[in-house]
Amino acid sequence: MNLEGMRVMGVDPGLTRCGLSVVQAGRGRAVVPVAVGVVRTPSDAELTERLLRISRSVGEWMDDYRPDVMAIERLFERGTVSTVIHTAHAVGVIMLAAAERGVPVYHYTPSEVKKAVSGNGRADKKQMTSMITRILGLAEPPKPADAADALALAVCHCWRAPLIARASQLGAAGHTTNFVSSAHH
Protein backbone atom coordinates (compact mmCIF):
# COMPACT_ATOMS: atom_id res chain seq x y z
CA MET A 1 0.00 0.00 0.00
CA ASN A 2 2.05 2.98 -1.23
CA LEU A 3 0.62 6.28 -0.09
CA GLU A 4 3.86 8.19 -0.52
CA GLY A 5 3.18 11.73 -1.70
CA MET A 6 -0.35 11.81 -0.25
CA ARG A 7 -1.16 15.28 1.06
CA VAL A 8 -3.19 15.47 4.23
CA MET A 9 -4.80 18.61 5.63
CA GLY A 10 -5.21 18.39 9.40
CA VAL A 11 -7.83 20.63 11.01
CA ASP A 12 -8.34 21.29 14.71
CA PRO A 13 -11.76 22.94 14.50
CA GLY A 14 -12.72 25.90 16.63
CA LEU A 15 -14.65 29.11 16.25
CA THR A 16 -12.13 31.42 17.95
CA ARG A 17 -8.98 29.53 16.87
CA CYS A 18 -9.00 26.91 14.12
CA GLY A 19 -5.71 25.05 13.63
CA LEU A 20 -4.77 24.23 10.02
CA SER A 21 -1.93 22.11 8.71
CA VAL A 22 -0.80 20.32 5.60
CA VAL A 23 1.68 17.45 5.59
CA GLN A 24 2.88 15.04 2.93
CA ALA A 25 3.40 11.31 3.49
CA GLY A 26 6.95 10.19 2.77
CA ARG A 27 8.50 6.72 2.71
CA GLY A 28 7.39 4.39 5.48
CA ARG A 29 6.30 6.45 8.46
CA ALA A 30 8.10 9.61 7.30
CA VAL A 31 5.87 12.69 7.23
CA VAL A 32 7.00 16.01 5.76
CA PRO A 33 5.49 19.26 7.06
CA VAL A 34 4.19 21.56 4.32
CA ALA A 35 2.32 24.33 6.19
CA VAL A 36 0.81 25.13 9.56
CA GLY A 37 -1.25 28.03 10.84
CA VAL A 38 -4.27 29.18 12.77
CA VAL A 39 -7.38 31.01 11.61
CA ARG A 40 -8.60 33.37 14.31
CA THR A 41 -12.00 35.02 14.50
CA PRO A 42 -12.93 37.82 16.91
CA SER A 43 -15.35 36.66 19.60
CA ASP A 44 -17.33 39.92 19.28
CA ALA A 45 -18.05 39.38 15.55
CA GLU A 46 -21.36 37.94 14.32
CA LEU A 47 -21.46 34.14 14.13
CA THR A 48 -22.14 34.25 10.39
CA GLU A 49 -19.11 36.50 9.81
CA ARG A 50 -16.88 34.20 11.88
CA LEU A 51 -18.06 31.11 10.00
CA LEU A 52 -17.53 32.85 6.66
CA ARG A 53 -13.98 33.75 7.69
CA ILE A 54 -13.22 30.14 8.67
CA SER A 55 -14.79 28.74 5.51
CA ARG A 56 -12.87 31.14 3.26
CA SER A 57 -9.56 30.49 5.03
CA VAL A 58 -9.97 26.71 4.85
CA GLY A 59 -10.98 27.01 1.18
CA GLU A 60 -7.91 29.15 0.40
CA TRP A 61 -5.65 26.62 2.14
CA MET A 62 -7.20 23.80 0.15
CA ASP A 63 -6.85 25.74 -3.10
CA ASP A 64 -3.21 26.64 -2.31
CA TYR A 65 -2.01 23.27 -0.97
CA ARG A 66 -4.32 20.84 -2.82
CA PRO A 67 -4.69 18.16 -0.10
CA ASP A 68 -5.83 14.66 -1.11
CA VAL A 69 -7.72 14.17 2.15
CA MET A 70 -8.71 16.07 5.29
CA ALA A 71 -8.33 14.79 8.84
CA ILE A 72 -10.45 16.64 11.38
CA GLU A 73 -11.05 16.19 15.08
CA ARG A 74 -14.24 14.27 15.77
CA LEU A 75 -16.63 16.46 17.68
CA PHE A 76 -17.40 15.27 21.17
CA GLU A 77 -19.06 16.81 24.17
CA ARG A 78 -16.60 18.78 26.22
CA GLY A 79 -17.18 21.98 28.04
CA THR A 80 -20.35 23.99 27.69
CA VAL A 81 -23.15 23.28 25.25
CA SER A 82 -22.58 26.63 23.50
CA THR A 83 -18.90 25.77 22.92
CA VAL A 84 -19.85 22.41 21.41
CA ILE A 85 -22.50 24.05 19.20
CA HIS A 86 -20.09 26.77 18.02
CA THR A 87 -17.45 24.15 17.24
CA ALA A 88 -20.09 22.10 15.39
CA HIS A 89 -20.91 25.15 13.24
CA ALA A 90 -17.20 25.50 12.41
CA VAL A 91 -16.93 21.77 11.57
CA GLY A 92 -19.90 22.16 9.23
CA VAL A 93 -18.38 24.95 7.14
CA ILE A 94 -14.98 23.21 7.12
CA MET A 95 -16.52 19.96 5.86
CA LEU A 96 -18.52 21.90 3.28
CA ALA A 97 -15.32 23.51 1.96
CA ALA A 98 -13.82 20.01 1.60
CA ALA A 99 -16.97 18.62 -0.05
CA GLU A 100 -17.04 21.49 -2.57
CA ARG A 101 -13.53 20.45 -3.64
CA GLY A 102 -14.19 16.70 -3.62
CA VAL A 103 -11.78 16.13 -0.73
CA PRO A 104 -12.72 13.17 1.52
CA VAL A 105 -12.88 13.89 5.26
CA TYR A 106 -11.75 11.51 8.02
CA HIS A 107 -12.62 12.06 11.68
CA TYR A 108 -10.42 11.15 14.64
CA THR A 109 -11.07 11.46 18.36
CA PRO A 110 -8.41 13.19 20.46
CA SER A 111 -7.49 9.86 22.09
CA GLU A 112 -7.08 8.18 18.67
CA VAL A 113 -4.71 10.96 17.61
CA LYS A 114 -2.77 10.78 20.88
CA LYS A 115 -2.44 7.00 20.63
CA ALA A 116 -1.33 7.13 16.98
CA VAL A 117 1.23 9.90 17.50
CA SER A 118 2.59 9.18 20.99
CA GLY A 119 1.52 5.61 21.69
CA ASN A 120 -0.45 6.89 24.67
CA GLY A 121 -4.16 7.74 24.32
CA ARG A 122 -3.91 9.98 27.39
CA ALA A 123 -0.82 11.99 26.42
CA ASP A 124 -0.92 15.63 27.53
CA LYS A 125 -0.50 18.71 25.31
CA LYS A 126 3.21 19.02 26.16
CA GLN A 127 3.96 15.38 25.27
CA MET A 128 1.99 15.69 22.02
CA THR A 129 3.72 18.91 20.99
CA SER A 130 7.10 17.33 21.74
CA MET A 131 6.28 14.23 19.66
CA ILE A 132 4.98 16.27 16.71
CA THR A 133 8.09 18.48 16.80
CA ARG A 134 10.30 15.37 16.72
CA ILE A 135 8.26 13.41 14.11
CA LEU A 136 8.21 16.34 11.69
CA GLY A 137 11.79 17.44 12.42
CA LEU A 138 10.67 20.98 13.26
CA ALA A 139 13.21 23.50 14.53
CA GLU A 140 10.81 24.59 17.26
CA PRO A 141 7.48 23.42 18.68
CA PRO A 142 4.44 24.66 16.74
CA LYS A 143 2.40 27.31 18.55
CA PRO A 144 -0.36 27.77 19.56
CA ALA A 145 -1.65 24.35 20.67
CA ASP A 146 -4.30 24.43 17.90
CA ALA A 147 -1.51 24.39 15.29
CA ALA A 148 0.22 21.42 16.98
CA ASP A 149 -3.14 19.61 17.20
CA ALA A 150 -3.79 20.19 13.49
CA LEU A 151 -0.37 18.69 12.66
CA ALA A 152 -1.05 15.72 14.97
CA LEU A 153 -4.35 15.03 13.16
CA ALA A 154 -2.59 15.07 9.79
CA VAL A 155 0.21 12.76 11.00
CA CYS A 156 -2.37 10.43 12.55
CA HIS A 157 -4.11 10.11 9.18
CA CYS A 158 -0.83 9.50 7.31
CA TRP A 159 -0.12 6.58 9.63
CA ARG A 160 -3.70 5.26 9.64
CA ALA A 161 -4.30 5.63 5.86
CA PRO A 162 -2.66 2.30 4.86
CA LEU A 163 -4.92 0.46 7.32
CA ILE A 164 -7.99 2.33 6.09
CA ALA A 165 -7.09 1.58 2.46
CA ARG A 166 -6.52 -2.11 3.24
CA ALA A 167 -9.81 -2.34 5.11
CA SER A 168 -11.72 -0.76 2.22
CA GLN A 169 -10.04 -3.15 -0.24
CA LEU A 170 -11.03 -6.08 1.95
CA GLY A 171 -14.52 -4.65 2.22
CA ALA A 172 -14.74 -4.27 -1.55
CA ALA A 173 -13.41 -7.80 -2.03
CA GLY A 174 -16.00 -9.05 0.43
CA HIS A 175 -18.75 -7.58 -1.71
CA THR A 176 -17.79 -9.49 -4.82
CA THR A 177 -19.52 -12.59 -3.51
CA ASN A 178 -23.00 -12.37 -2.09
CA PHE A 179 -23.99 -15.10 0.28
CA VAL A 180 -27.68 -15.37 0.88
CA SER A 181 -28.63 -17.32 3.91
CA SER A 182 -32.16 -18.37 4.41
CA ALA A 183 -33.46 -20.54 7.17
CA HIS A 184 -35.52 -23.47 5.96
CA HIS A 185 -37.67 -25.15 8.58
Nearest to 102 by CA among 75, 66, 74: 66
Q: Where are the domains of the chain?
A: 7-173
By DSSP bridging, strand 7-12 and strand 17-25 are antiparallel
Domain 7-173: CATH architecture, name and number where available: 2-Layer Sandwich (3.30)
* Burial (Cβ within 10 Å: 0-12, 13-18, ≥19) of residue 100: exposed
pLDDT at 173: 58
Q: Give strand ranges (E) for the chain.
A: 7-12, 17-25, 31-40, 69-73, 105-108
Task: Kindly indicate the confidence band of residue 162, based on its pLDDT and cuts at 50, 70 and 90.
Answer: confident
Residue 73 is labelled as binding a ligand:
yes
pLDDT at 159: 92
pTM: 0.88
Residue numbers annotated as active site:
12, 73, 146
Q: How far apart are CA 55 and CA 15, in angstroms?
A: 11
Residue 146 is labelled as binding a ligand:
yes
Q: What string of DSSP letters covers 28-74? A: TT-EEEEEEEEEE--TTS-HHHHHHHHHHHHHHHHHHH--SEEEEEP
Check pLDDT > 60 for residue 65.
yes
pLDDT at 4: 86
Residue 46 is labelled as binding a ligand:
no
Instruction: Check: CB of residue 87 under 8 Å from CB of residue 13.
Output: yes
pLDDT at 92: 97
